[in-house]
Amino acid sequence: MAVVAPLLLLFAQLLTVAFAAPVSQTLEVRQTDVSALSADDVAVYKPYTWYASTAACNPTNTSAWNCGTKCSANPSFIPIASGGDGGNVQYWFVGYDPSLQTIIVSYQGTDPSKITPLITVLRFALTPLRPSLFPGISSSLQIHDGFGEAHAASADAVLAAVRTGLSKYGVNKVTLTGHSLGGAIAIIATAHLAVQIPGVTLRTITYANPRLGNQAFVDFVNARSEMTRVNNLHDIVPILPGRFVGYAHTEGEVHIVKSGAWVSCPGQDNTNAECLIGYVPTLFNGNAGNHLGPYDGITFGGC
Ligand SMILES: *[C@@H]1O[C@H](CO)[C@@H](O)[C@H](O)[C@H]1NC(C)=O
């Protein structure tokens, strides 16, 4: 529960801003076009949920694809490269899934027992993308500085591994995934691959990620990858940082509701009662205990 204290501190900061925000920014047109996924549609996410959970394993284990159930759940996976130290640099791995016919990129999430990665969550200043990684991109596209730093820490190594995989396995598709902070990094990495590998087909499936960029940034990503972000019940992390401090979510929310159904919430920040914002309209409705899952039986956490 080490995760709760820093998040509560953040809430206190954000509430101060929330009550000072102009009313016009908080009014929303209620969106009603939600629908429950079929059992078959939910099952499609399973391998990616496992891949997101596997990023909690260290590079020795993921590079050998030896990590118990988290690895054997995707038995045909072929590792290409793994890295990170689980502290300053989140673990990551890149490989090829011959049955899904895509390169997989996955990033470690926020481990509640480790404070270092969480510190980045406590900052919410928006900053332009790094010109060294995103040459020529408009400075109007802005992201959370700490998440940008977390992405940059492994960006070159991940890009090199993705290029290796695309050429070695003769595919043109990359699927990025991650839970929590790992999801935020996966979305920034989506923009990075879109800039660095023109013409690549991108798919991004994240879990419980916070907001990480401004409207111009998420517009850019939405236009370049098929986006899905899966949220569970009353998780508080996906409502942070607030829209009132300039943040927006990528499109394609899927919200796991009380009945256990997975509900598709089209658009960005869908405010329907069945979507996450409907469940967590304010920080007081949130439950940090829902952050790790379960997501169709898979709970995030250690390796
Ligand atoms: C990670 O790999 C080591 C050996 O390389 C093994 O002993 C250990 O059980 C693996 N971890 C998991 C969670 O399977």
Instruction: Kindly report which listed range (42-56, 58-72, 116-130) carries the lowest average pLDDT score.
Output: 116-130
pLDDT at 115: 31
Mean pLDDT confidence for 77-106: 97
pLDDT tens per residue, range 274-285: 999 999 998 889
Cα gap 214→207, rounded to integer Å: 19
Give nearest CA residue, ligand 1 atom 8: 67
Protein residue whose Cα sits closest to atom 11 of ligand 1:
67
Q: What is the pLDDT of residue 31?
A: 57
Ligand 1 centroid distance, CA of 52 (Å): 18
Are 180 and 207 in contact by the 8 Å Cβ rule? The answer is yes
- Atom 10 in ligand 1: which residue has the minimum CA distance? 67
Rounded Cα distance, 3 and 235, in Å: 12
Q: Are 9 and 16 within 8 A, CB to CB?
A: no
* Protein residue closest via CA to atom 13 of ligand 1: 67
| Domain ranges, ordered by start, for the chain | 4-13+45-290
- Nearest CA owner, ligand 1 atom 12: 67
Beta strands, E only, the chain? 35-36, 78-83, 92-97, 102-107, 126-128, 142-144, 173-179, 201-207, 226-232, 253-256, 262-265
pLDDT digits (tens, 9 = 90+) for 234-258: 998 898 888 888 999 999 999 999 9
Q: So what's the architecture of 4-13+45-290 in CATH?
A: 3-Layer(aba) Sandwich (3.40)
pTM score: 0.90
Q: How confident is the model at residue 32 (pLDDT cuts 50, 70, 90)?
A: low
pLDDT for the residue 110: 76
Cα→Cα distances 283→19, 77, 205, 210, Å:
12, 39, 25, 13
Residue 7 pLDDT: 43
67, 70, 93: which to mutate for ligand 1, most atoms within 8 A of CB?
67
Residues 173-198: pLDDT tens digits? 999 999 999 999 999 999 999 999 99
Residues 6+ away with beta carbon under 8 Å from 271: 28, 29, 30, 31, 277, 278
Residue 244 has a pLDDT of 80
- pLDDT tens digit string along 153-178? 999 999 999 999 999 999 999 999 99
User: Do residues 161 and 189 make contact, with C-beta atoms less than 8 angstroms apart?
Assistant: no
- Nearest 10 degrees: CA dihedral of 260, 264, 268, 270? -60
What separation in Å is there between the alpha carbon of 61 and the centre of ligand 1?
A: 6
pLDDT band at 122 (very low <50, low <70, confident <90, very high): low
- Dihedral sign for Cα 216, 217, 223, 229, please: negative
Residues with CB under 6 A from ligand 1: 60-61, 66-68, 303
Name which residue leads in pLDDT, 260 or 4. Answer: 260
- Nearest atom (ligand 1) to Cα of 71: 14
Whole-number average pLDDT of the chain? 88
Q: Could you tell me the pLDDT band of residue 10, with boundaries at 50, 70 and 90?
A: very low
Ligand 1 nearest-atom number relative to CA 57: 13
Residue closest by Cα to atom 1 of ligand 1: 61
Q: Between residues 76 and 29, which one has the greater pLDDT? A: 76
| pLDDT band of 88, cuts 50, 70, 90 | confident
Q: What is the Å distance from ligand 1's center to 82 Cα?
A: 15
Tell me the one-letter amino acid at 111.
D
Please tell me the residue having the least CA distance from ligand 1 atom 4. 61
Q: Residue 36, class by beta-carbon neighbours within 10 Å (0-12 exposed, 13-18 middle, 19+ buried)? A: middle
Q: Could you give the percent of the chain with pLDDT greater than 70?
A: 85
- Higher-pLDDT residue of 10, 22: 10
pLDDT at 263: 98
